[in-house]
């Protein structure tokens, strides 16, 4: 062959018996078949073999298999992010003229999707009190196609009675989805508690280093596998094998990171609960958190995020000044990484509760708790001073 052809069709290859502790990063869009008769375009690559890179390379499927294993799921689909996972579930189960239920404390973009794109598609999404428990039966309609849960709730951290909601939903044959990101898919056993679909943003604890965007949708059984898989194929939710490789690496240290994050967060939360400037600490493991009894019953641990509410004598400007004075705590969204974060939520939509710009969400990282407490202390003690 001409040397130009050899560049495309080399005859030289490295020995094939290399063994490593790490999963190779397989990049590729085209899958090469041995025969024309083998060509197919099937998203069910786990059962039927690889057909196209859109549905995942071996690196992507390896990550999905590992997530499914630790969650006890039938299968886990890997998608570009947490919001992609939420969208996939909605579009797999809801169509024009159907109704869905979502807790008012759900992740903000979930509710934005409900009031935006889904509304334009003729899908009605109704917000409900996260502490409703079995009372959700009164909200289920004949056209209800999906019930969302998120426990704890975003920012205000309400713990839901998920088993009671599942029981009421299944009595009417309505599937239940759970945003299980807080628990990293492991601190709350979604499928043991009857949930049909469990999603998480791998961006958070599985990635663990604030450098990737990924999500998963894990399904309880074959029916959910087919429903989600069909929508997954049509939506073209391809992910980067490189990001999946980083997520697989993150899984290796997830256990020790979660243990350390829980310990440090509890130390910081306990200290803040005693500070005179703080009126309440919204941490699932503390009795001051709404629904704490359900956390105690259903969870095997807590993680790194919680919120604090400042005393009513402080103004929103003073709360912002507090955050601006922090040094170790960086200002930013997201959580689950090694760096501690803080952010003010001035306009929370929580019926019957007006936090008046006095709520700050904290993500505790892997710094020493004594250093984090010192940082909070200096910012708290200067709240009354000019910024």
- Give CATH for domain 253-380: 3.90.1150.10
Closest CA to 220 of 169, 255, 154: 169
In sequence order, the β-bridge partners of residue 308 are 281, 360
pLDDT in tens, 114-165: 999 999 999 999 999 999 999 999 999 999 999 999 999 999 999 999 999 9
What is the tally of helices (H) and strands (E) in the chain? 12, 12
Pick the CATH number of 22-248 from 1.10.357.10, 3.40.640.10, 3.90.1150.10, 2.60.60.20: 3.40.640.10
With cut-offs at 50, 70 and 90, classify the pLDDT of residue 387.
very low
What local confidence, expressed as pLDDT, does residue 74 receive? 98
Q: Is the pLDDT of residue 78 over 80?
A: yes
Tokens of 387: 């910024």
CA distances from 329 to 5, 15, 296 (A): 56, 49, 28
What local confidence, expressed as pLDDT, does residue 352 receive? 86
What local confidence, expressed as pLDDT, does residue 385 receive? 54
Domain ranges of the chain: 22-248, 253-380
Q: Could you give the CA distance from residue 362 to residue 342 in angstroms, rounded to a whole number?
A: 5
Q: Could you give the CA distance from residue 120 to residue 75 in angstroms, rounded to a whole number?
A: 31
Cβ-based neighbour number of residue 78 at 10 Å: 28
């Amino acid at each position: 062959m001409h040397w130009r052809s050899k560049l495309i069709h080399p005859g030289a290859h490295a020995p094939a018996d290399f063994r490593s502790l790490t999963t190779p990063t397989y990049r590729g869009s085209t899958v090469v078949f041995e025969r024309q008769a083998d060509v197919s375009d099937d998203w069910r690559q786990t059962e039927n073999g690889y057909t196209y890179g859109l549905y995942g390379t071996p690196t992507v499927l390896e990550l999905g298999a590992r997530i499914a294993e630790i969650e006890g799921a039938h299968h886990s689909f890997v998608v570009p992010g947490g919001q992609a996972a939420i969208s996939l579930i909605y579009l797999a189960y809801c169509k024009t003229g159907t109704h869905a239920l979502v807790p008012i404390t759900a992740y903000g973009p979930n509710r934005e999707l409900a009031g935006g794109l889904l509304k334009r598609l003729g899908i009605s999404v109704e917000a409900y009190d996260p502490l409703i428990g079995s009372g959700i039966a009164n909200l289920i309609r004949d056209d209800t196609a999906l019930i969302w849960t998120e426990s704890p709730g975003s920012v205000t951290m309400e713990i839901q009675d998920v088993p009671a909601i599942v029981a009421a939903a299944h009595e009417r044959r309505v599937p239940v989805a759970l945003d299980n990101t807080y628990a990293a898919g492991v601190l709350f056993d979604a499928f043991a508690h009857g949930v049909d679909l469990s999603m998480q943003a791998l961006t958070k604890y599985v990635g663990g280093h604030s450098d990737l965007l990924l999500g998963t949708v894990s399904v309880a059984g074959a029916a959910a596998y087919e429903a989600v898989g069909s929508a997954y194929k049509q939506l073209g939710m391809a992910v980067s094998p490189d990001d999946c490789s980083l997520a697989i690496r993150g899984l290796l240290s997830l256990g020790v990171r979660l243990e350390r994050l829980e310990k440090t967060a509890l130390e910081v939360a306990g200290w803040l609960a005693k500070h005179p400037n703080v009126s309440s600490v919204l941490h699932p493991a503390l009795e001051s958190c709404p629904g704490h009894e359900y956390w105690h019953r259903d969870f095997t641990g807590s993680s790194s995020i919680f919120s604090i509410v400042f005393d009513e004598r402080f103004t929103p400007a003073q709360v912002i000044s507090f955050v601006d004075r922090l040094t170790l705590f960086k200002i930013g969204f997201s959580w689950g990484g090694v760096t501690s974060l803080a952010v003010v939520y001035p306009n929370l939509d929580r019926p019957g509760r007006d936090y008046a710009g006095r709520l700050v969400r904290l993500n505790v990282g892997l710094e020493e708790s004594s250093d984090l407490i010192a940082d909070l202390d200096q910012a708290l003690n200067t709240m009354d001073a000019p910024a």
